[in-house]
A and B are shown apart, each in its own frame.
Chain A
Amino acid sequence: MASIEIANARKSYGAVDVLHGINLNISDGEFIVLVGPSGCGKSTLLRMIAGLEDITSGDISIAGDVINDLQPKDRDIAMVFQSYALYPHMSVAENMSYALKLRKTAKDKIADAIGNVADILGLSALLERRPKALSGGQRQRVAMGRAIVRKPQAFLFDEPLSNLDARLREQMRTEIRKLHHRLGATSVYVTHDQIEAMTMADRIVAMHDGIIQQVGSPVEIYDRPANIFVASFIGSPAMNFLEGAYETTADNGDQGAGIRLSDGSLVPVLPAQGASTNQPVTLGARPEHITIVQDAANGLPARVDLIEPMGLSTLVHATLAGKPIKIFTMDRPDYAVDSFIHVAFDMEKVHVFDSSSELRLPPLTEPHTGHSD
C-alpha cells in the first residue's frame, strides 16, 4: 500500500483546460471519493493516476516516487472500470489471473490467490464461466476480484457501480467498504453519485469545472460545505437556496443577524464572518433544517405545492418568497395543495453564502478551521 500525492497537476487538450492545477495528498490506506457532475474532470484525474492519460504539467507520485513517465503497467495499481472491462474471451479465473500471469507468478501461487479472492467475493462456483454467462452483479464482482488478486499499491475505481440497479448498488457499496476495511488498501473512487460519496468515503473530494471545491470527511462536507456548489451537490433532497440581503440586528442587547428575503420577511441567522449589512447573500437551508410551525407568529408563510410521501419521512414542497422550497418532516402531514403553512429555519444549522463569490460565510462562533484548498 502507498500514499498518493498529486502536486499542481494540470490537463489540457489543446487549448481546452480540463484540470486546473490539482493538489491532493492521499494517505496510505485512505478511501478517497472524487465526486462531481459529469465533465468536472474527476475521471480524467483518475486516469492520470492510472497512466491512461498524460499529465500536461505537475507531478503525481505513488509511495513517494514521481510516476509521470511510467507506463500504466509499471505503476502497480489496479483499476475497476464502469464497464468492468472483463476480457470476453477468458474465463473468470483467467480474467483474474491475467495480471499475475504477466508477472510470471508461479502457477500454484496464482491458484491460491484466486481461490482466496473467489472465496471472499463468492465467485468460487463461477470460475470457469465466461463473462457473457454472468449477471451484472457477478461481473462487477469479477472486476473487483481481478483488482484485488494483484495486491496493488492502490485501487482506482471509475464509477464501478453505475451500471447496477439500485438495490445491487446499495449492497455493493457496503461490500466495497467492508473489503476496504479488510484490505486497508489506498483507494481512489470516482462517482457522480453523492450518496456513494457520503457513505463510502474517508474523505470526499468535491470537484467542479476542473477545480477541487472542497476536501473533507463526509460529515464535514455535509455540515460545512465550502460553497454553493458543494452545498447543492451533496445531500438529497438538495439544499434550499433563498436570495436576500444580510442584516445585523440587536435583540435584547445580543448581537444578532438575519437575511431579508425578497418578500420582506426576515430569517434570523447566526452572525456570519465577514458579512456586512445589505450585502447580497444566499440563505442555504437543508430540508431537514426547516420546520413547520403551528404558531403563525413564529414562522414565515409558505404555500403548499405538493406532498411527497417517502415512507420513513415526508417531503413537503412549498413556495416561500416566490421560491420553491422543500421541507423534510417525520410527521405525516395532510395539507391541502395551495393551503398555507408556516415554516421556521433552524438558525444554528442554516448557512449564509456570499451571493457573488458563492463562498460560505461561516458563523462567528465557528472555529476558523479553514477548509483545505
Chain B
Amino acid sequence: MTLATHAGKRPVERRGVFSKKLSGIIEPYLYVSPALVLILAVMLMPLVLGLSYAFRDIRILNPFSGGFVGTAHFETLMSDQAFLGALINTAWWTFGSLFFQFGLGLILALLLNRDFVGRRLIQALVFLPWAVPTFLSGLNWAWMFNPVVGPLPHWLTSLGLMAEPFNILSDPDLAMWGPIIANIWFGIPFFAITMLAALQSIPKELYEAASIDGATTRQQFISITLPFLAPTIAITLMLRTIWIANFADLIVVMTKGGPADSTQIVASYIFTQAFRRLDFGYASAIAAVLLVLLLAYALAVIGLRRAMTHADN
C-alpha cells in the first residue's frame, strides 16, 4: 500500500467496478445467496408446486394424467374414511407422545439440574436415544414388541397384563402404543435438553434469596422455576406439536400405518399415497389440508398466548 503524499485532495483511484459503499451493500447478499437459492429451489418452489398438484390429476404410472381436476381431490377427501381416521389418529399420536415426552423430559431435566457424582456420564447416556437414527429406533422397538425376539410381550405376560405373548403392533386396538412408546423413548432427551438449558439459565441468586426469605423447595419451584421455564415450555410445546404431527418415520417403519389403518396418521398417509400408490395429486391435496390445519393450530396457539399475556397486563 503506497499512498503518495501529494499535496491537495484527490480521490484515490477506484479499484474495480465497485466502490466501497456499493460492495458493502452487496456483500451480505453474497454470503446469504447459496442458502437462499437452495431453500427457494428445494423447499419453496416444491411447496408452491405441491399446492398446485392438489388441484391436478398427477399419477406417475398414468401417462395421460396431469389434467386440472379442480377441487375433486378435496371432495374425495371429505368422504375418505382412511383420511378421517388418520386425522383422529394424528391427534392421538401427537398428544399421546407429547404428554409423556414432555412430562418425563421435564422430570429428567430437574434430576440432571442437581450436582451429583457421574452427572456428565449419566447425561450422555440418557441423551443417547436422541442420536439413534429414527429408522433404527423404529425397527428396534418393533423387534422389542415382537414375541419372537423381543422381551416385552413375555414380561407383560409374566406381569399378568397379557394372556399370552403377542405382538401389540398387530392388534388394531393397541398398535398405536408401539410407535408412541418408541417416540417417547426417542423424544425424552429433546425435552430434557431444552428444559435443562432453560433451568441452567435461571440465576442461582434467585434461589439463594428465596431460601433466605424462607421459601421451601416446593415454593421455590412454583415461584421461581416454573415462571422461568414457562416461555421455553410454551414455545417448545408448540413447535414440538407440529413436529410430531409431521413425524411419520416411526410409523412407516413400525406398522406402515396398519393394521387396518389403525396407526395411519396424516403424514404417513401422504407418504403412502405418494410412495406406494404414486398418486401425487391426491397426496398433495392431503398435504394442503395438513398445512392449513397446522397453520390454524399455530395461529390459534399464538392468539391464545397473546390473549393470555394481555389478560395478565
A and B touch in the complex (CB under 8 A): yes
Partner of A65, one of B3, B20, B21: B3
Query: Once bound together, how far apart are the Cα atoms of A73 and B8, in whole Å?
Result: 23
B7 within 8 A of A: yes
Could you tell me if B10 and A65 are in contact, using CB atoms closer than 8 angstroms? yes
A74 touches B5 (CB 8 A): no
Structural contact, B3 and A153, CB atoms closer than 8 A = yes
| With A54-B21, A54-B24, A71-B20 as contacts: A66 and B9 at CB distance below 8 Å | yes
Question: Which residues does chain A contribute within 8 Å of B24, judged by CB atoms?
Answer: 54
Contacting B11 at CB < 8 Å: which of A5, A65, A71?
A: A65
Stretch of A56-64, A247-255, A283-291 on the interface side: A56-64
**Complex interface: chain A residues within 8 A of B19 (CB):** 69
Please tell me if B6 contacts chain A, counting CB pairs below 8 Å. Answer: yes
Interface presence of A103 (CB below 8 A): yes
Q: Could you write out 10 A-B pairs with CB less than 8 Å apart?
A: A2-B5, A5-B9, A51-B20, A54-B20, A64-B5, A64-B8, A65-B6, A65-B9, A71-B20, A73-B1
**Contacts of A1-51 to chain B: CB distance below 8 A:** 2, 5, 51
Which residues of B are at the interface with A, using a C-beta cutoff of 8 A?
1, 3, 5-12, 14, 19-21, 24
Contacts A54-B21, A61-B9, A64-B8: A69 and B14 contacting too (C-beta < 8 A)? yes
Q: Which residue of B lies closest to A152 (CB)?
A: B1
- The answer to whether B6 touches A64, judged by C-beta atoms less than 8 angstroms apart, is yes
Residue numbers of A with Cβ under 8 A of B are 2, 5, 51, 54, 59, 61-71, 73-74, 76, 103, 153
The docked-state distance in angstroms from the alpha carbon of A76 to that of B4 is 12
Residues of A within 8 A of B8 (CB): 64
| Most A CB within 10 A of own CB, among B11, B21, B24 | B11
Q: Are B20 and A70 in contact (CB under 8 A)?
A: yes
- Is A64's CB under 8 angstroms from B21's CB? no
Q: Is the interface of A mostly helix, strand, loop or mixed?
A: loop
Q: B10 near A74 (CB under 8 angstroms)?
A: no
Residues of chain B within 8 A (CB-CB) of A103 are 1
The answer to whether A67 and B12 have CB atoms under 8 Å apart is yes
**Is B12 within 8 A of A69, CB to CB?**
yes
| A59 / chain B contacts, CB cutoff of 8 Å | 9
CA distance A71 to B10 in the complex (A): 17
Q: Count the A-B residue pairs with Cβ separation under 8 angstroms: how many?
A: 47
Q: A54-B21, A70-B20 are in contact. Are A64 and B12 (CB under 8 A)?
A: no
The distance in angstroms between the C-alpha atoms of A70 and B3, with both chains bound, is 11
A192 to chain B, nearest CB (A): 28
Q: Name the distance in Å between B181's Cβ and chain A's nearest Cβ.
A: 47
Q: Which 7 A-B pairs have the closest CB atoms?
A: A63-B5, A69-B20, A66-B11, A69-B19, A65-B12, A76-B1, A61-B9
A63 B20 Cβ-Cβ under 8 A: no
B14 surroundings in chain A (CB, below 8 A): 69
The CA of A2 and the CA of B11, in the complex, are separated in Å by 16
Per the bound structure, the CA–CA distance linking A65 and B3 in Å amounts to 8
A285 to B255, CA, bound (A): 89
Contact A66/B3 with A54-B24, A71-B20 known, Cβ cut-off 8 Å? no
Q: How far apart are A96's CB and chain B's nearest CB, in angstroms?
A: 18
C-alpha gap A2/B4 in the complex (Å): 11
Q: Which residues of A contact B7 (CB under 8 A)?
A: 64
The smallest beta-carbon distance between B5 and chain A, in angstroms, is 4
Question: B20 contacts which chain A residues (CB < 8 A)?
Answer: 51, 54, 68-71
Find the A residue at minimum CB distance from B6. A64
Specify which chain A residues have a CB less than 8 angstroms from the CB of B10 in the assembled complex: 64-66
Q: Give B14's nearest chain A residue, CB to CB.
A: A69
Which one of B8, B10, B12, B19 has the greatest number of beta carbons of chain A within 10 Å?
B12
CA distance A67 to B20 in the complex (A): 10
Question: Which B residue's beta carbon lies closest to that of A51?
Answer: B20
Which residues of chain A have C-beta atoms less than 8 A from B3's C-beta? 2, 62-63, 65, 76, 153
B residues near A5, Cβ cutoff 8 Å: 9
The CA-CA distance from A220 to B8 in the complex, in Å, is 30
Contacts of B6 in A (CB 8 A): 64-65
> Is the pair B11, A69 in contact by a Cβ cutoff of 8 Å?
yes
Q: Which residues of B contact A64 (CB under 8 A)?
A: 5-10
Closest to B25 in A: A54
B119 nearest CB across to chain A (Å): 27
Nearest Cβ distance between residue A18 and chain B, in whole angstroms?
Answer: 17
Q: How far is the CA of A184 from the CA of B83 in the complex (A)?
A: 83
Also in contact, A74 and B1, with CB within 8 A (given A5-B9, A67-B12): yes
Q: Which residue of A lies closest to B21 (CB)?
A: A54
**Most chain B beta-carbon contacts within 10 A, residue among A69, A71, A76:** A69
Which residues of B are found within 8 Å of A2, using beta-carbon distances? 3, 5
A67's nearest neighbour on chain B, judged by CB, is B12
A66 close to B5 (CB less than 8 A): no
> How many Å lie between the Cα of A61 and that of B21 in the bound state?
16
Question: CB-CB < 8 A to A66: which residues of B?
Answer: 9-12
How far apart sit A214 and B170, CA to CA, in the bound complex (Å)? 87
Looking at B3, B7, B9, B10, the one whose CB has the most chain A CB atoms below 10 A away is: B3
CA–CA, A132 to B244, complex, Å?
A: 45
Distance A222 CA – B14 CA, assembled complex (angstroms): 44
Which residues on the B side are within 8 Å of A70 (C-beta)?
Answer: 12, 20
